[in-house]
Amino acid sequence: MRPYDVLFDQALTRVDAERIHHVAFRAIRAAAPVTGRAVRVPSRPVQALGLTFPHPLGLAAGFDKNAVGIDGLAALGFGHVEVGTVTGEAQPGNPQPRLFRLKADRAIVNRMGFNNDGAEVVARRLAAWRSAGGSTVLGVNIGKTKVVPEEDAVRDYEKSTGLLARYADYLVVNVSSPNTPGLRDLQAVEKLEPLLAAVRRRADEASPDRRVPLLVKIAPDLSDEDVLAVGDLALASGLDGIIATNTTISRDGLATSAAEVEHVGAGGLSGRPLTQRSEDVVRLLRGHVGPDLTLVGVGGITTVDDARRRLAAGADLLQGYTAFVYEGPLWPQTIVKGIVRGLATDD
């Protein structure tokens, strides 16, 4: 058993998950100067979204909601970092506790509710980071402010886009979190199309000297038919990519007892239970949209084999979050080294 496994099982899991997240994240930020020198991750450049990524693996949105630790996370070996979800207005999120571990399933349930400092504060933070030379490939994930009614959602996304697009290497429209009432309704093509068009226009206005790539993040709970409809919309609207997938509201097939699952309650489930469905969505999309649209595979990627399978299914890039929590700070290095070895063998 690895030292991190002992620490996780005997100490970290005895403390509230959200509290441990904040403690661990502070340690990651404080250690950045040391880890940046010590960590050596092999390079395997990926050309996607008109950008050069040092390798396929990045950190999914949700870990660094407020863009406070980009350099520390990159120092651990992530080739890109996606911050957010950021909303037009600052909001505290849902009542605590709102983050839970399902250890038997190597999964996490969260109902955070887009707690973040808001687009204006995050924009100022990113401006300072860029001015200081920040160069990690940066994604910015934007969502709807909870108190904003659905009919005003477009204006809310436009506000975030106008403030944040100029600092982002790519921009993600999040319409798939289960923790903001009504948000997933925006995945319906008739609502998603005008939203994406408005965000595209606002991004071009906010960054006139550079076209910021635009992606949408979808849920694993969409039917195959709806997944394909989003793929068609992405092609028709000139979208640059799709992130597949967000968390699930399903609780099917869990090893965790029904009583514990009921006690944890509502929220988005991430981790190992998503592995197969997220892989299937990537494969379905790639077969439908062809080679040109960038697909980012996320959901249940824990092992090197998971990562290789997701790339084989058609993902250009990968992201993780839950496995990073369960496997520890060496996880990014392990995955990237395994990917690079596999690609070298394939070559």
On whether 179 is known to bind a ligand per the annotation, the reply is yes
* Confidence check: pLDDT of 342 > 80: no
pLDDT of residue 8: 62
Contacts of 321 (CB under 8 A, 6+ apart): 59, 60, 62, 63, 270, 298
- Would you say residue 7 lies in a domain? no
* Confidence check: pLDDT of 179 > 70: no
* 74-91 pLDDT tens trace: 999 999 999 999 999 999
The average confidence (pLDDT) of the chain is 92
On whether 94 is known to bind a ligand per the annotation, the reply is no
On whether 111 is known to bind a ligand per the annotation, the reply is yes
Annotation says 270 is catalytic: no
- Would you say residue 65 lies in a domain? yes
* 17-58 pLDDT tens trace: 999 999 999 999 999 998 988 888 888 999 999 999 999 999
On whether 170 is known to bind a ligand per the annotation, the reply is no
If you average pLDDT over residues 196-205, what whole number do you get? Answer: 97
Question: In this structure, what DSSP letter does residue 92 have?
Answer: -
Measured between alpha carbons, how far is 2 from 25 in angstroms, rounded to an integer? 21
Domain count, the chain: 1
If you average pLDDT over residues 155-160, what whole number do you get? Answer: 97
Q: What 3-state DSSP class applies to 100?
A: strand
If you average pLDDT over residues 274-279, what whole number do you get? Answer: 98
Q: Given phi > 0 = left and psi -120 to 50 = alpha, else beta, which region is 267?
A: left
- Greater confidence (151 vs 331) lies with 331
If you average pLDDT over residues 272-295, what whole number do you get? Answer: 97
- Would you say residue 10 lies in a domain? no
Measured between alpha carbons, how far is 32 from 70 in angstroms, rounded to an integer? 10
- Would you say residue 267 lies in a domain? yes
The CATH number assigned to the domain holding 247 equals 3.20.20.70
If you average pLDDT over residues 162-166, what whole number do you get? Answer: 98
- Would you say residue 273 lies in a domain? yes
Catalytic residue among 160, 177, 207, 270: 177
Range of the domain at 66: 27-342
* 128-146 pLDDT tens trace: 999 999 999 999 999 999 9
- The two beta strands, 241-244 and 317-320, are unpaired
